[in-house]
Amino acid sequence: MKRLVVVEPGGPERIVLDEAPVPVPGPKDALVAIHVSGVNFIDVYFRTGLYASDRPIVLGSEGAGVVERVGDEVTEVEPGDRVVFAMHRGSHAEYVAVPSRLLAKIPDDVDFRTAGAAMLQGTTAHYLTHSTFPLQAGQTCLVHAAAGGAGGLVVQMAKGRGARVIGTAGTDAKVTEVRALGADHAINYATEDFEDEVRTITGGHGVDVVYDSVGRATFDKGLKVIRPRGMMVLFGQSSGPVEPMSPTVLNTRGSLFLTRPNLAHYVATHDELTWRVNDVMRQIASGQVTIRIGGEYSLDEAAGAYRDLEGRKTTGKLVLKVRS
């Protein structure tokens, strides 16, 4: 089977399409024939060596496809099921063996493309807005990189919960897209000072929560626009990791809460995974949430997909089409 790997950490040019045997599922695994695989920053971090990995580094952390075989102890799925998963590596391939507890069934009326595009970022936006800081009607959130994959879904789910949403983005075209997603206010943080803008918008009160996937470039300033006892949810680092800081800063900025969450801990059981995925799919079916596909690529074209993502050229979600 074909799969994408990296032998030595580095840039997108290190991505190699190689041949490997079809994996043999263990007793608790299902063998999934991949149709669509999502392109995500987490694979950038494995590819560049920021996150540790065995070699070769197998790529792809999200996929949608069909179960072909299951191990003896699998109870959650059976051959023929259409399934989706995230946070298991090796999905940029024709087949992957996935622990069955990570698999959710795809509703009949949802295609592989939508499911594969919605899984990782959709469940992330869901846990951020429903669990990490469960937004209430009337609260205000600041969402960075709001035209991006995860950010755009946070905007839509935050609106669904009745919150007031301020989104940031790096170009005027992206700012227009953020408004179209339903944000009440959109700031071009490349040309405007988002701290000043947020202060003005909130009448000096600050926001209840910041959802920050950008990291190094936005984190410090973000702490300055949160109301006392509000929360900084640092969930990514597209501009680079945040420098270490003293907890005292949280005191002086207003008894703030800081969390650095990870999707894996918010789909901790198969029940929680199923509940979250079903709720994301329900929000898509109802029209509350739109999945925007920003680009579709073949396995051969994956390096270009990652160049676009890392180069800030994309909006919405990029996917690799593995089978038609």
* CA angle (305 as vertex; 110, 174 as ends), nearest 5: 80
**Based on CB atoms, which residue is closest to ligand NDP, 37 or 124?**
124
Stretch that binds ligand NDP, among 69-77, 97-105, 149-157, 222-230 (CB under 6 A): 149-157
Quote the least distance from Cβ 108 to ligand NDP, whole Å. 27
**Closest CB 224 distance from ligand NDP, rounded Å:** 18
Question: Any idea what DSSP says for residue 128?
Answer: I
> Does the protein bind ligand NDP through residue 90 (CB under 6 A)?
no
For residue 150, what are its two tokens? 């995860």
- Whole-number Cα distances in Å, 57 to 15, 181, 269, 306: 9, 36, 27, 15
Least gap, CB of 309 to ligand NDP (angstroms)? 6
Q: Does 319 bind ligand NDP (CB under 6 A)?
A: no
- Rounded Cα distance between 249 and 54, Å, is 37
Q: Is 235 in the site for ligand NDP (CB under 6 A)?
A: yes
Using CB under 6 A as the binding criterion, the count of chain residues that bind ligand NDP stands at 30
The rounded distance, in Å, linking the Cα atoms of 33 and 83 is 10
Q: Which is nearer to ligand NDP, 213 or 283 (CB)?
A: 213
Token pair recorded at residue 220: 């410090």
Task: Report if residue 198 touches ligand NDP, rule: CB under 6 A.
Answer: no
Q: How far apart are CA 218 and CA 189, in angstroms?
A: 9
Beta strands per DSSP E along the chain: 2-6, 16-19, 29-38, 57-58, 62-70, 82-86, 95-99, 104-105, 140-143, 164-169, 185-188, 207-212, 226-234, 257-259, 293-297, 317-321
Nearer to ligand NDP, 22 or 293 (CB): 293
Question: Should residue 211 be labelled a site residue for ligand NDP when binding is judged by CB under 6 A?
Answer: no
Among 132, 140, 202, 314, binds ligand NDP (CB under 6 A): 314
Kindly list the residues in this chain that would bind ligand NDP in the complex (CB under 6 A): 40-42, 120-121, 124, 145, 147-151, 169-170, 174, 213-214, 217, 235-239, 261-263, 309-310, 312, 314
